[in-house]
């Protein structure tokens, strides 16, 4: 069984036309889960990773799984040949109270070799949540990029009570 949620609100204009409606599947004990909307806006990459002096950055959002594994929830598109990427992309995530740490990774896409990790950011959201923030991504304790995000609690079943 799925429920169709229509995306509306102040950032609906940022959504691609084919993503204005999204199906959210209720899970077992759905009332114990929280739905967050993550919007990846733009950023500044401090060091290029390609020989042309630029990078081809994209953001991957994951959550911690069982036994330390990661499950990818959302990946932005790649911004080609830039140190100032602009994505304006978003998605909704259902997170359980037991396991809701999000891992944001900034990558550089490479054509013939493995993609390069530019930096990471770990985040533990809690409701109620409404945040606009610049996050510093790090690699080996060095700040490698700053990315702007908006995080909102999209829906929580307890809010109807």
In the chain, the number of structural domains is: 1
- Expressed as residue numbers, the domain containing 155 is 33-160
Per-residue model confidence (pLDDT) at position 123: 84
What number is the average pLDDT over the span 134-157?
81
Whether residue 150 lies inside any domain: the answer is: yes
Whether residue 25 lies inside any domain: the answer is: no
- Where residue 87 sits, what CATH number does that domain have? 2.60.40.150
Per-residue pLDDT for 129 more than 50?
A: yes
Whether residue 19 lies inside any domain: the answer is: no
Per-residue pLDDT for 127 more than 90?
A: no
Per-residue pLDDT for 10 more than 70?
A: no
Q: How far apart are the first and last CA of the chain?
A: 22
Per-residue pLDDT for 26 more than 70?
A: no
Whether residue 12 lies inside any domain: the answer is: no
């Amino acid at each position: 069984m799925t429920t169709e949620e229509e995306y509306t609100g102040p950032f609906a204009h940022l959504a691609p036309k084919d993503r204005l409606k999204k199906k959210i599947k209720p899970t077992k004990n759905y009332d114990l889960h929280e739905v967050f909307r993550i919007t990846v806006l733009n950023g500044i990459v401090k060091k290029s990773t390609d020989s042309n002096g630029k990078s081809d950055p994209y953001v991957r959002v994951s959550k911690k799984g069982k036994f330390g594994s990661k499950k990818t929830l959302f990946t932005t598109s790649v911004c080609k040949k830039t140190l100032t990427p602009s994505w304006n992309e978003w998605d909704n995530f259902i997170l359980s109270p037991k396991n809701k740490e999000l891992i944001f990774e900034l990558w550089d896409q490479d054509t013939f070799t493995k993609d390069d990790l530019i930096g990471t950011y770990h985040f533990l959201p809690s409701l109620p949540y409404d945040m606009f923030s610049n996050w510093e991504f790090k690699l080996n304790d060095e700040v490698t990029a700053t990315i702007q995000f908006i995080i909102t609690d999209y829906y929580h079943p307890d809010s109807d009570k």
